[in-house]
């Protein structure tokens, strides 16, 4: 079978703690986007999903410090029992609870601030504020733009979200995410659910996962104000550190949601 993998350097093979076979290769700096897209185009034939920035040995090593029950094909099957759209809605609700705090406040300034916050979680009101959208942003490449990767990992997976379940540890458990009573913490499995939801909704595909960051290549980004606003609310609920990179939900809607490349970062 002819594949770009054969032309890469530094070929490595490894196996995760759950027995998932991995292979990786290296390439010259600056070639990462071309390599990823070429290997992604081969995916229907090879069944191997490309992930930038990891070698097989490093990715496999991380799985051995992970709970054996929470990785591999069996865990992926269990995660598929959860509706990813419902989990996304739960993250939004929880983040809204945390942001609003005590909604019984009688302080006029607090009441006004809470009303502004409610507006930021309402896609209809966000859409009204950002319309019309006339320009398509170029997309954010926060990690790969500053630190171009020279490694690519290939994982036997049907889609990018499966990679995060089959090879846990490519992203960290986010200890700095705060939610309300309905979902206080962001669990590692939430990365799988969110990516699965965005794959279906926007064609967002795993590109580069890191310990504290994530990049996605997006094939069907939203473009009309309401769907852009819906996407921006989802993004900021999942990763409110976007406020440090881009700004509030209106900035996320204008600068990232309609783009074909998304970046997330947890400080």
Sheet containing 21-26: order of strands = 9-15, 21-26, 151-156, 48-52
- For tokens 């410090």, what's the residue? 65
Assessment of whether the complete model's pTM goes beyond 0.85: yes
Is 120 a member of any domain? no
Judge contact between 209 and 51, C-beta under 8 A.
yes
Is 11 a member of any domain? yes
- Give yes or no for residue 95 having a pLDDT over 90: yes
pLDDT band at 1; cut points 50, 70, 90: low
If one counts every other C-beta atom within 10 angstroms of the C-beta of residue 113, the result is 15
pLDDT band at 264; cut points 50, 70, 90: very high
* pLDDT value at residue 172: 79
Give mean pLDDT, residues 200-211.
Answer: 96
The Cα-based distances of 155 to 68, 206, 261 in angstroms read 18, 12, 21
Is 178 a member of any domain? yes
More confident residue, 144 or 112: 144
- Give yes or no for residue 255 having a pLDDT over 60: yes
Query: Tens digits of per-residue pLDDT, 170-189?
Result: 987 777 899 999 999 999 99
Give mean pLDDT, residues 203-212.
Answer: 95
Q: Helix/strand/coil (H, E, C) string of the chain? A: CCCHHHHCEEEEEEECCCCCEEEEEECCCCCHHHHHHHHHHHHHHHCEEEEECCCHHHHHHHHCCCCHHHCHHHHHHHHCCCCHHHHHHHHHHHHHHHHHCCCCCCCHHHHHHHHHHHHHCCHHHHHHHHCCCCCCCCCCCHHHHHCCCCEEEEEECCCHHHHHHHCCCCCCCCCCCCCCCCCCCCCHHHHHHHHHHHHHHHCEEEEEECCCEEEEEECCCCCCHHHHHHHHHHHHHHCCCHHHHCCCHHHHHHHCCCCCEEEEECC
* pLDDT value at residue 6: 85
* pLDDT value at residue 105: 65
* pLDDT value at residue 4: 87
* pLDDT value at residue 216: 98
Cα–Cα distance measured from residue 235 to residue 218, given in angstroms and rounded to the nearest whole number: 13
* pLDDT value at residue 149: 98
Is 227 a member of any domain? yes
* pLDDT value at residue 254: 96
Number of domains observed in the structure of the chain: 1
Is 91 a member of any domain? no
Query: What integer best gives the mean pLDDT of the chain?
Result: 94
Judge contact between 56 and 14, C-beta under 8 A.
yes
Judge contact between 176 and 46, C-beta under 8 A.
no
Is 46 a member of any domain? yes
Query: Tens digits of per-residue pLDDT, 216-234?
Result: 999 999 999 999 999 999 9
Is 116 a member of any domain? no
The parent domain of residue 20 ranges over: 4-82+133-261
pLDDT band at 104; cut points 50, 70, 90: low
Is 160 a member of any domain? yes
Give mean pLDDT, residues 105-127.
Answer: 86
Chain centroid to Cα 89, Å, comes to 16
Cα–Cα distance measured from residue 71 to residue 238, given in angstroms and rounded to the nearest whole number: 22
Query: Tens digits of per-residue pLDDT, 76-88?
Result: 999 999 999 999 9
Query: Tens digits of per-residue pLDDT, 37-86?
Result: 999 999 999 999 999 999 999 999 999 999 888 999 999 999 999 999 99
DSSP-derived pairing of the beta strands 21-26 and 9-15 = antiparallel
């Amino acid at each position: 079978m002819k594949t770009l993998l054969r032309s890469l350097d530094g070929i490595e093979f490894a196996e995760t703690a759950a027995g998932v076979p991995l292979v990786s290769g290296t390439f010259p700096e600056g070639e990462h986007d071309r390599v990823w897209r070429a290997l992604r185009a081969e995916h229907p034939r090879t069944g191997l999903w490309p992930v930038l920035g990891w070698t097989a040995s490093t990715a496999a090593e991380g799985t051995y410090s992970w709970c054996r029950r929470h990785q591999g094909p069996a865990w992926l099957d269990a995660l598929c029992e959860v509706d990813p759209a419902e989990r996304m809605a739960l993250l939004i609700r929880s983040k809204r609870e945390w942001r609003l705090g005590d909604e019984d406040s009688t302080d006029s300034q607090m009441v006004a601030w809470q009303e502004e916050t409610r507006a930021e979680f309402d896609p209809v009101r966000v859409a009204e504020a950002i319309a019309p959208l006339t320009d398509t942003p170029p997309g954010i490449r926060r990690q790969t733009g500053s630190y171009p990767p020279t490694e690519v990992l290939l994982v036997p997976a049907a889609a990018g979200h499966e990679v995060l379940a089959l090879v846990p540890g490519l992203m960290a458990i986010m200890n700095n995410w705060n939610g309300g009573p309905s979902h206080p913490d962001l669990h590692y499995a939430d990365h799988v659910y969110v990516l699965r939801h965005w794959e279906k909704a926007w064609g967002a595909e795993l590109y580069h996962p890191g310990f504290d960051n994530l990049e996605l290549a997006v094939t069907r980004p939203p473009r009309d104000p309401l769907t852009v606003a819906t996407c921006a609310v989802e993004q900021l609920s999942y990763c409110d550190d976007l406020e440090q990179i881009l700004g509030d939900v209106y900035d996320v809607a204008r600068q990232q949601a309609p783009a074909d490349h998304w970046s997330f970062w947890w400080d």
